[in-house]
A and B are shown apart, each in its own frame.
Chain A
Amino acid sequence: MEPILEIRNLGKNFGAVEILKDINVSAEPGGFLVLVGPSGCGKSTLLNCIAGLEPISGGTIHIGGRDVTHVSPKDRNIAMVFQSYALYPTMSVAGNITFGMKVRGVDKAVRARKLQEVARQLQIEQLLDRRPSQLSGGQRQRVAMGRALVRDPQLFLFDEPLSNLDAKLRVEMRLEIKKLHSDLGATMVYVTHDQIEAMTLATRIVVLKDGVVQQVGSPAEIYNRPTNLFVADFMGSPAMNLIPARASRHGNGTRIEIERAGGPPIVLIDGRIDGLPGDVVVGLRPEDIAEAGFRAGDGVQEAECLIDMVEPAGADTFVVSLIGGKQVTARLHAETEARPGSTLALAFDLGKVSYFAPDTGERLN
C-alpha cells in the first residue's frame, strides 16, 4: 500500500545550524507514527515541516501520494493538535471547532452537522457555548482534538498534546487517543519526549537525536533491539543497564567478564554469539535480571551481588547493585528478601542481551 506520508532526504537549516539531517520517514495508511527524542532533537521542527509551517532546506514531502513540499499548510489536507492547544480565546468551543470550515466556505448546515458529530464523539456536547478560558485542561485538549477531527484530514499531526496535563489525565487521554486512532483508522504522526507514550501509542517509532534519525521500527523492535547506546538508554523506564565488560572467545561462544570493586568479576558465557571485540558494553533490561531461582532458561546465569539499594515500587521491587562501575538495576518480584548491604544471588538472562561497541555506540549483535 502506498504510504500516506513519505519524507525523503529532508534537511532543515536555521542559518548555519543544521536542525534536521537527511530524514527519511514514512507512515502507512492507518499507521501511528511517533517521533520521539529528547528536547532539542528536532522532532517538533520535523512535525512543523510536515505541516508546512516551517520551510525545509532540502528533500521532499509527499502526503497521500502528492508532492506537498512547496504547498501551503491549508492545502496539505492535514489537521494539527498543538501542545498549548492554541484554541482561539475569543471564540466559543463551537466557534473553535467550526472556524476551519467557515474559512473554507463550508455550508452552514454541513458545519452544524459535523460539529454535532464531533462533539458527540468527544463528549463535549454540553461545552459548545463556553469559552476556552472556562474549560479545564482536559476539556481544552478535547476541543483541540475536535478541531482536528472535524476536518477529516488524510493526516493528523499531534505536537506533544498531553504534556500540559497532569499525570492521571495524561494516561486517560493517551488511552482515548489510542481508541480514537483505532476507531477512525486514521493516519497519525505524534511528537512526544515521553518514551512511555511512544511505546504505548505507536505502530512505528522514529527515535531522533540532534536532528538525525537513530532508529525506525515497531515499539518491540526499538525496545528489544536498540540500534545504538542512545536508543538503548533513552527508551525504557527504568533505563537499560549498560555495563562495560571484557569479551573473549570461549569455545563457539563468548566469555563476558564484568569487573566489580571488592569482589571477583562476574563471568557470563553467551553461547550464541562470537566475534565480539575485546571491549563491549552489555545491555540488559532491568527485567532481564531477576532473583536467582525465579528465572530459568538457556541464557540464564547466576552470580552473587552486593545490594546497594532497594526500591519497592508496589508490583515490583527494584534493587541496585554496583557492577562494572555502573549502578545496575534489577527488577525483582515484590516479596523479595533483598536488603541493602546484604548479598543476593541474581540471575542474568542473556536471552535478550544487547552488545554495543563502547567507542561508536553501535549495536554488535
Chain B
Amino acid sequence: MTDPARGLPAAPRAGQAALRWLLFAILGLFALFYLMPLFVMIATSLKSLEEIRAGSLVALPARVTFEAWGTAWSSACTGIQCEGLRPYFWNSVSLSVPAVAISTLLGAVNGYVIAQWRFRGANLIFSLMLFGCFIPFQVVLLPMARTLGFMGLTGSISGLVFVHVIYGIGFTTLFFRNYYVTIPVELVKAAKVDGAGFFRIFWSVFMPLSLPILMVTVIWQFTQIWNDFLFGVSFSQAGTQPVTVALNNIVNSTTGVKEYNVDMAAAIIAALPTLFVYAVAGKYFIRGLTAGSVKG
C-alpha cells in the first residue's frame, strides 16, 4: 500500500528527470558549438607552422609551443614595423582606462541629475542623449575628424579618449538614470534636510549604492572601447593605433606564408582584457542588469 499523503506517483517524476537531462544535453551541445572556434584558436596558436600545414584543424597540438605567442606579442610585423602587438596593446590600455573612467563618471552624474533632480526639460535632454546611442559610428566620422582637428587632437590618444567619452555618455547616462530612477526621491530630501549638498549627496548616498550598475557600465564601456576598430582606425596615426587596428594589420599585411598560429595568438591576446574584465566583474553584470530597486 502506498501512503496517499506521500506525494506523486513515480511515472511523472521519471518523465521530468528525463526532460531535465534532455535539456542539459541540448544546452551542452550549444555550449560546445560556441566554444569550438575558441578551441580551434587556442589549439592552433599552440602549434608550429609545420604541424598546422600537416595536421587537422581540430586536432590537439602534438607538441605545445608558445613561440607564436611570443611572436604575436613582440615581433610580428604590422606593416613596416615589426614590434608585435605590445606597443599597441599599451595604446589601447592608455586610451581605454581614462575613456571608461571619464564616461562612466559623467554618466553617473548625468543619471543622478536626470533621475533625482528633476528640472524643466529633463525628459527632453534625456531623450536626446538616448538618441545619441542610436547614431551609427559612420555618421559621426567626418564631423568628428573636423572637431578633433579644430581641437588640435588629431591622431592623438587624447583625441580617441575624447571620441569614446562623447560616444559613451549616452549609454552610461541611460544605465545610471534607469538605476537611480528606482531610488525613492525621499532619500535626496532627507539628505537635503540633513544639510548635504548636490555632490555630497552624490558621493555619500548614491555612489555607495551604485556598485552593481557601476560594474555593468564599466564592463559595457570597456568592451565597447577596447573592441572598437572604426574610431581607432580613423582617428589614429602610426604610433597611436589601438590593438584592434594592429591586429588587423598583422593578419592582413603579411606577405608570403600566412602564419595562422601567430594570427590566432594575436587575436586571443587582443581579446584577453575584455574576457578578464568580465571574469572579474561578471557576477555584478547580471546582478546590475536585473536588480536596480533599492529596498531601504
Contact = CB atoms under 8 A, between A and B. Distances in A.
B195 A100 contact: yes
Contacts of A99: 191, 194, 196, 204
B205 to A, nearest CB: 5
B189 A80 contact: yes
Contacts of A147: 190, 194
B149 interface: no
B187 A74 contact: no
A85 B295 CA distance: 11
A82 B190 contact: yes
Contact of B200 (A83, A87, A90, A103): A103
A82 B189 contact: yes
Interface in A63-103: 72-74, 78-80, 82-91, 99-100, 103
B121 to A, nearest CB: 14
Contact of B294 (A51, A74, A89): A89
A286 interface: no
A132 interface: yes
Contact of B184 (A74, A80, A86, A140): A86
Interface in B252-296: 294-296
Interface-centre pick from A86, A99, A103, A140 (highest chain B CB count, 10 A): A86
Contact of B193 (A78, A84, A85): A78
A51 B196 CA distance: 14
B196 A86 contact: no
Nearest to A95: B204
Interface-centre pick from B187, B195, B204 (highest chain A CB count, 10 A): B195
Given A86-B186, A88-B187, A90-B208, A73 B193 contact: yes
A365 interface: no
A89 B194 contact: no
Nearest to B186: A86
B294 A73 contact: no
Contacts of A74: 192-196
Interface in B3-41: none
B190 to A, nearest CB: 4
Contact of A86 (B189, B204, B208, B209): B189
Contacts of A73: 189, 192-193
Interface residues of B, number: 19
Contacts of B295: 89, 133
B296 A83 contact: no
A86 B195 contact: no
Determine chain B's interface SS by DSSP, over half rule.
helix
A89 B193 contact: no
A113 interface: no
A168 interface: no
Nearest to A148: B193
A140 B204 CA distance: 20
Contacts of A86: 184, 186-187, 189-190, 296
A53 interface: yes
Given A86-B187, A88-B205, A133 B193 contact: no
A100 B190 CA distance: 9
A215 to B, nearest CB: 29
B129 to A, nearest CB: 25
B296 A133 contact: yes
A133 B295 CA distance: 7
A84 B200 contact: no
A104 interface: yes
Contact of A51 (B187, B193, B204): B193
Contacts of A80: 189-190, 193
A104 B191 CA distance: 12
A82 B194 CA distance: 12
B193 A87 contact: no
Contacts of A82: 186, 189-190
Nearest to A153: B193
B193 to A, nearest CB: 5
Interface of B: 184, 186-187, 189-196, 200, 204-205, 208-209, 294-296
Given A79-B193, A90-B208, A100-B195, 16 more contacts: A51-B189, A73-B192, A80-B190, A82-B186, A84-B184, A84-B186, A86-B186, A89-B295, A91-B208, A99-B196, A103-B194, A103-B196, A103-B204, A132-B296, A133-B295, A147-B194
Interface of A: 48, 51, 53, 72-74, 78-80, 82-91, 99-100, 103-104, 132-133, 140, 147
25 contacts: A53-B189, A53-B192, A72-B192, A73-B189, A73-B193, A74-B192, A80-B189, A80-B193, A82-B189, A82-B190, A84-B186, A85-B296, A86-B189, A88-B187, A89-B296, A90-B208, A99-B194, A99-B196, A99-B204, A100-B194, A103-B196, A103-B200, A140-B296, A147-B190, A147-B194
What 7 pairs between A and B have smallest CB-CB spacing?
A: A100-B194, A90-B208, A74-B195, A86-B186, A86-B190, A89-B296, A103-B195
